[in-house]
A and B are shown apart, each in its own frame.
Chain A
Amino acid sequence: GNSVTQMEGPVTLSEEAFLTINCTYTATGYPSLFWYVQYPGEGLQLLLKATKADDKGSNKGFEATYRKETTSFHLEKGSVQVSDSAVYFCALKGDTGFQKLVFGTGTRLLVSP
C-alpha cells in the first residue's frame, strides 16, 4: 500500500538557517503530495501541494518539488524564523478511486532566536 517516510526530529535550527525536511514515498501511479503544518495545540493546515511530477509547491517561503524519479518531496526554506517552529507532516493521496490521505509521522522543527 501507499506509505510516507519522513526524517525523524526534532530538527533544531537557529533563526535564518536553511531548512530541509526529507520526505520519501511509496505509491503506485501518480499520487498527489502535500505538506501540512501543525502549530502547538492546533489542527493541521495545508502548507503546499503538488499534483504531478516536477511540480513545485510553494507557500510562505517554503518549497517542495515532486520528484518521481527519487520518489521524494523534500520541504525546504531558505531562512527560517522562530514562528516556523511547528510539526510538519508529509502526506500523499493516491490517484484512483477514493483514496485516503496517508501521513508521515511528522517532523518537529524548533527554531531558536
Chain B
Amino acid sequence: DGGITQSPKYLFRKEGQNVTLSCEQNLNHDAMYWYRQDPGQGLRLIYYSQIVNDFQKGDIAEGYSVSREKKESFPLTVTSAQKNPTAFYLCASSIDRWSGTYKNIQYFGAGTRLSVL
C-alpha cells in the first residue's frame, strides 16, 4: 500500500541533544512538508521541500533542520537550539509543487510525538 511512514511513533529528547524524525513516502510525490501541532494551535509549517535537493523554511523553522537527498525521504532534525520541542510532528506530501489544483492535496503520516526528558 502507498503511504507516508513516520518513525518513531514516540521519541524522547534529553537536554542538549539533537534528534531526527524520519519521514518516508512511496507515493512518488514531489513535495513534502513538516508540521508541528500543539494543543489548541492547529498545525504550523516548519519546512517544506518542492523537489529533491531543495527546501524552504516555513513559519517556525528556528531550531529545526531538514534534508531532501532522495525523493522518498524528508527527515527532520530537532536541534538543541529548539528550546520547546515537545509537540506532535506531522509529515505530509503532495503530488507536485504547483498549487491551486485538485492534485495538490496533502496526505499525512501518522505522526511522531516528541517529549523532553
Contact residues of A with B, CB < 8 Å? 30, 32, 34, 36, 41-46, 49, 51, 89, 93-101, 103-106
Contact residues of B with A, CB < 8 Å? 4, 6, 33, 40-43, 45, 48, 50, 58, 90, 92, 97-102, 104-111
CB neighbours (8 Å) of B90 from chain A are: 43-44
Contact A105 B111 (CB under 8 A): no
Contact A103 B110 (CB under 8 A): no
Q: A44-B90, A46-B105, A100-B45 are contacts. A95–B100 as well, Cβ < 8 Å?
A: yes
Q: How many A-B residue pairs have CB under 8 A?
A: 62
Measured in the bound complex, the distance between the Cα atoms of B97 and A56 in whole Å is 25
Contact A105 B105 (CB under 8 A): no
- Of all A-B residue pairs in the complex, the 6 with the closest CB atoms, nearest first, are A43-B108, A95-B100, A105-B42, A99-B99, A44-B108, A103-B42
25 inter-chain pairs at a CB distance below 8 angstroms, sorted by A residue, are A30-B100, A32-B100, A42-B110, A43-B4, A43-B6, A44-B108, A46-B107, A49-B105, A89-B43, A93-B100, A94-B99, A94-B100, A95-B99, A95-B100, A96-B100, A97-B99, A98-B50, A99-B100, A101-B33, A101-B45, A101-B106, A103-B42, A104-B42, A106-B40, A106-B42
